[in-house]
Chains A and B, each alone.
Chain A
Amino acid sequence: MNTTGNNNERRPQRVLVVDDDLTSREMVRLALEMNGYAVVAAAGVPAARQELTAAGFETFDCVVTDYLMPEATGLELLAWLQAKASKLATIILTGKGEKDLVADSLRGGAVDFLEKPVDLTQLRTAVSRAIAQTRQQRHNDEMRSSVAEMGRTQAWMMRAQTATVPVQVEICFHPKLEAGGDFFSHFNPEPDQYYCLLADVSGHDLRAAYWGAYFQGVVRGMAEGARSLPEILHFFNRLLVAEWNRLSQPAATTSVAVCALAMDFKHQTASVILCGTPAPVYVAPDGRAEFLADQGGSPLGWFEDFGAQSRDLSTAGAGAFLLWTDGVDDLAEKNGVHALSLGWALQQASRSGRRPEVLAAATDDILFVELLLSPAPRSPARWRPLVLERYAGGQAARIDELADAWSRSLELAVPGLDQTVRHDLLLAAREAVLNALQHGCRNDPGQSATFQIGYEPAGQRLRVWVDDPGPGHDFDLVAHENALANGLLDQHRGLVLMHRLSRALIFERHGAGVIMEFGPEPCDAKVISPAPPP
């Protein structure tokens, strides 16, 4: 007997034969029963509909129907089946001279057609093929449904945990497929302690999702057993290197890039361990941001010594951490923007319940997380870094390329920004960075300057920070501006631009540190009335 279904639920393969002609119907029925099929016969379309509805579409594997019948045609039955159970394969039987029906049948979704009188060998072959197609399509549907459910569960698990921790967490997760290898989890091993792990398993398929869940479970379990994060990461690395990756057949390396963050609320400190993910950023309450490590360390599973980078810092119980996986870096690079700008754009889209267009170019899972260290509701006047970079002293010739990336980042992150504000910021930032590289770093590739653009969404203000290791300058800028206007001097015209274009300009360390603020409106207060000709 032909059977279908898995081992626990095997049943005979069932075929519904629909024909108003008793002789023809019985001949088809006998031929199929002799081949092990369970056959249900119906004398017309209404009877067939009744049979299918009563027994359930999923109890049949194939329908064989005559075309020309008094109450309704086989094509009408086909159309009804397409609407009700499109995965149930249907074969149409046509009389001689009804060849025109073939095209209509196939267009209507029939998998095959046979001409009467039916050749029984052809019938058996066609039914066998149709049943295989039904089973395959039903299997595909089940798989799609399972995968979608897995993705929903993965997303739910990430978000559901956020309510149980004393940190405000915002997660933007966009797996490449329905579920992915990126994962974020967090918990309190002790009342005053908080652990969070952002992990990225190699690949972005279901296998990666499975490994991600396995890893998170191991971490959580070991943390409950009072193991420290370094101990847990060393253990999992050993597990991958010495066991799973050694035993896997065929040989395949599973690796897990991890950014682990442990916070101690009692002492207001944080500790970061980095194994192959992009470096996280800490944003101080005044808006200044810093990378907490150089990108580096290798993912767990590659080497016995995975060379993690670690860093301890004092948070004073305030500020925010930004963490993301390399899919964000890749997508940012594709779009020629900075990862922090992309992260902000993803958060904005997520808050408004839309899928950002920029994700269309994603080739990996996307996970971006913000952790806000504040028990109070989110303050609207918070600075958010959009660009954070370190430039070596020899990079002045790349200034156009750098400025283009700043410009694209602003366009993505602050799409409604006033064009004059944007021009002024880009020009003043260009001057500040050139000044830092050429004078502060003396064009020495061994020296470097840091650059940051921050955004304060409530006030729609933008701030630029530039810091270099040089001595700064020592002169009166306002007096210099007057001298420059009258005497057409060449010196320090960049500083004048920075002063005039920004709403506020603050020099730190004699100008080795510069802070400029812009927006929300252009800085018209500093427009100088056209002077009379000299």
Chain B
Amino acid sequence: MNATTTSDPRQKVLTLVIPGDLKSTTLPELQPEIERALSAAADHPETCQLIVVNLVATNLIDSMGLNLLARICRHAQETGARVRVVYANPHVHRTLIFTRLDRHAELVQN
């Protein structure tokens, strides 16, 4: 299970699509592509003012998954970008709220 990333320099948006659950056992496959995309965005911060994390296919996020989201939020803070997390499952929203990720990212229901 690999993440899909798309960068739109004209709209200044980087989109990260997570194709399933975000958890300790899926992270090793998801993380390299996300790190690569963040690293590329860091090289040209002017082309990325918004990072969209698409969690529409995600039903469960565990602490390792939350750490990855925190890492994305930290990257955004450092580069002056905003983070928008798009979710569909209310349990995902619950997890993000309970662990206060909503303080660092805009949560949008799909």
Contact = CB atoms under 8 A, between A and B. Distances in A.
B99 interface: yes
Interface string A416-442: 000010011001001100100000000
Given A497-B98, A527-B97, A534-B104, A490 B67 contact: yes
B99 A500 contact: yes
A494 interface: yes
Contacts of B104: 488, 534
Interface string B42-68: 000000000000000000101100110
A397 B66 contact: no
Interface in A373-409: 396-397, 399-400
A231 B29 CA distance: 59
Contacts of B10: none
Given A420-B94, A423-B91, A533-B106, A493 B99 contact: yes
A488 B63 CA distance: 12
Contact of B63 (A397, A400, A481, A497): A497
A185 B94 CA distance: 51
A431 B71 CA distance: 19
A439 to B, nearest CB: 12
A225 to B, nearest CB: 59
Interface size class of B (residues with CB under 8 A): 20 to 34
Contacts of B62: 427, 430-431, 434, 494, 497
A527 B100 CA distance: 10
A488 B70 contact: yes
A484 B100 contact: yes
A496 B97 CA distance: 12
Nearest to A493: B63
Contact of A497 (B74, B91, B99): B99
A528 to B, nearest CB: 6
B95 to A, nearest CB: 7
B25 interface: yes
Contacts of A528: 97-98, 100
B103 A527 contact: no
A431 B95 CA distance: 13
A501 B91 CA distance: 11
Interface string A511-525: 000000000000000
A496 B60 contact: no
B109 interface: no
Nearest to A529: B97
A399 B99 contact: no
A534 B103 contact: yes
Nearest to B96: A530
Contacts, number: 77
Nearest to B105: A533
Given A423-B60, A490-B70, A496 B24 contact: no
Q: B25, B74, B90 — which one has the most chain A CB atoms within 10 A of its CB?
A: B25
Interface string B71-101: 1011001000000000000110011011110
A501 B60 CA distance: 13
A485 B100 contact: yes
A526 interface: yes
A530 B71 CA distance: 20
A531 B95 contact: no
Contact of A531 (B70, B77, B100): B100
Given A434-B24, A493-B67, A527-B97, A427 B74 contact: no
A322 to B, nearest CB: 31
A390 B61 CA distance: 25
A103 to B, nearest CB: 60
Contacts of A533: 103, 106
B102 interface: yes
B25 A431 contact: no
B95 A427 contact: yes
B102 A497 contact: no
Contacts of A400: 23, 25
B66 A493 contact: yes
B92 to A, nearest CB: 10
A424 B92 CA distance: 10
A490 B90 CA distance: 23
A449 to B, nearest CB: 16
A497 B103 contact: no
A531 B60 contact: no
Contact of B98 (A399, A494, A500): A500
A399 B60 contact: no
Contacts of B99: 484-485, 493, 496-497, 500
Interface string A479-497: 0010011101110011011
Contacts of A481: 100
Interface in A457-478: none
Nearest to A482: B100
Nearest to B98: A500
7 contacts: A485-B99, A488-B70, A493-B70, A528-B97, A528-B98, A534-B103, A534-B104
Interface of A: 396-397, 399-400, 420, 423-424, 427, 430-431, 434, 481, 484-486, 488-490, 493-494, 496-497, 500-501, 526-528, 530-531, 533-534
Given A496-B99, A501-B98, 6 more contacts: A399-B25, A434-B24, A488-B70, A489-B70, A527-B94, A531-B103
5 A-B pairs with least C-beta separation? A485-B100, A494-B63, A500-B98, A493-B63, A423-B91
